[in-house]
């Protein structure tokens, strides 16, 4: 079975969230999400949990470039977001789209305060745009402090209220991930990066992993919704890691700090 971002696995009493698209044979690259009745919400907290409970799972994966948890699939139950059956608001929202499943707490608990959807069909972007134009969905304004991590609150909020892949439907907050997997190849070198970059060309602003070309020759990538829909002309100050592949990969998911210096035009696809 092919697994990717949006799938989840239950392993040794812990619910793990599958990350990204590359997974070594027989394993899932995944982070702990739900354990002992509580959610693990940040990357830092998740890695601390793995180091304390499953240190032997941390392995260097060349295609990723650093140590990640490898959860053995033969000892796990895979939760497939495209097979879950639900009723109510989440089902009404899901029914508006093509090739779409439900992930997050609705997948592993059957309930939740917000809706997390995942799709492999980039055509759903036009549906999301139309729903926003018609006022069927509305922007998200609130920011949970636990979400922030590398972004300061004011930048996080500014990006969140612009996105169509996040919003509110029938009074319920939603996140809509579109996953278009591609191979990035192996990482041959990792170096520290600290600079201001300007997005000059956008190729994948809506689907994960996102890709933006910059004026300094590096390509910005990310699997996180917070970095989707960045418009051309946006300037970011980034402190993080630069991964050398067949291209220079500035992975914002690894960044210690990301600041908006200037936000570009309204439409990231323009």
Give CA–CA dist 21/44, Å, rounded.
21
Residue 257, CA distances (Å) to 192, 235, 238 in order: 12, 14, 6
The per-residue pLDDT for 265 is 78
Residue 148, CA distances (Å) to 42, 141, 154 in order: 9, 14, 10
Asked if the bond preceding 209 is cis, omega within 30° of 0, the reply is yes
Q: Does the domain at residues 189-262 carry the CATH identifier 2.30.140.10?
A: no
Give CA–CA dist 197/106, Å, rounded.
38
The per-residue pLDDT for 156 is 74
Q: What percent of the chain has pLDDT over 70?
A: 94
**pLDDT tens-digit series, residues 162-211:** 999 999 999 999 999 999 999 999 999 999 999 999 999 999 999 999 99
Residue 159 three-state SS: helix
- Element (H or E) spanning 178, and its range? strand 172-179
End-to-end CA distance of the chain: 36
Structure tokens at 228: 């989707």
Kindly report the pTM of this predicted structure. Answer: 0.92
**pLDDT tens-digit series, residues 129-158:** 999 999 999 998 876 666 556 666 777 788
Phi-psi region of 26 (alpha: psi -120 to 50; beta: other; left: phi over 0): left
Residue 155, Cβ neighbours under 10 Å: how many?
18
The residue ranges of the chain whose pLDDT is under 70 are 143-152, 266-270
Beta bridge partners of 9: 16, 78
The per-residue pLDDT for 267 is 65
Give CA–CA dist 151/1, Å, rounded.
35
Domain spans of the chain? 8-79, 89-179, 189-262
């Amino acid at each position: 079975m092919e697994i990717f971002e949006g799938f989840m696995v239950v392993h040794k009493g812990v619910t793990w969230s599958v990350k990204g698209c590359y997974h070594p044979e027989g394993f899932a690259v995944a982070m702990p999400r739900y354990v002992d009745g509580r959610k693990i919400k940040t990357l830092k907290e998740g890695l601390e949990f793995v180091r304390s409970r499953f240190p032997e799972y941390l392995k260097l994966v060349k295609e990723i470039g650093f140590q990640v948890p490898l959860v053995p699939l033969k000892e796990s139950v895979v939760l497939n977001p495209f097979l879950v059956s639900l009723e109510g608001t989440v089902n009404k929202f899901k029914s508006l789209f093509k090739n779409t499943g439900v992930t997050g707490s609705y997948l592993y608990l059957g309930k939740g305060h917000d809706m997390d959807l995942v799709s492999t069909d980039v055509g759903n972007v036009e549906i999301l745009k139309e729903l926003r134009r018609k006022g069927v969905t509305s922007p998200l304004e609130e920011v949970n402090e636990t979400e922030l991590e590398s972004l300061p609150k004011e930048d996080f909020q500014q990006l969140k209220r612009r996105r169509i892949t996040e919003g509110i439907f029938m009074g319920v907050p939603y996140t809509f991930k579109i996953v278009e997997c591609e191979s990035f190849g192996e990482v041959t070198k990792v170096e520290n990066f600290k600079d201001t970059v300007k997005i000059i060309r956008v190729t994948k602003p809506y689907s994960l992993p996102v890709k933006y070309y910059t004026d300094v020759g590096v390509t910005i990538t990310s699997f996180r919704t917070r970095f989707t829909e960045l418009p051309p002309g946006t300037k970011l100050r980034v402190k993080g890691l630069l991964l050398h592949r067949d291209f220079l990969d500035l992975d914002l998911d690894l960044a210690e700090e990301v600041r908006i210096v200037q936000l570009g035009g309204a439409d990231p696809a323009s």
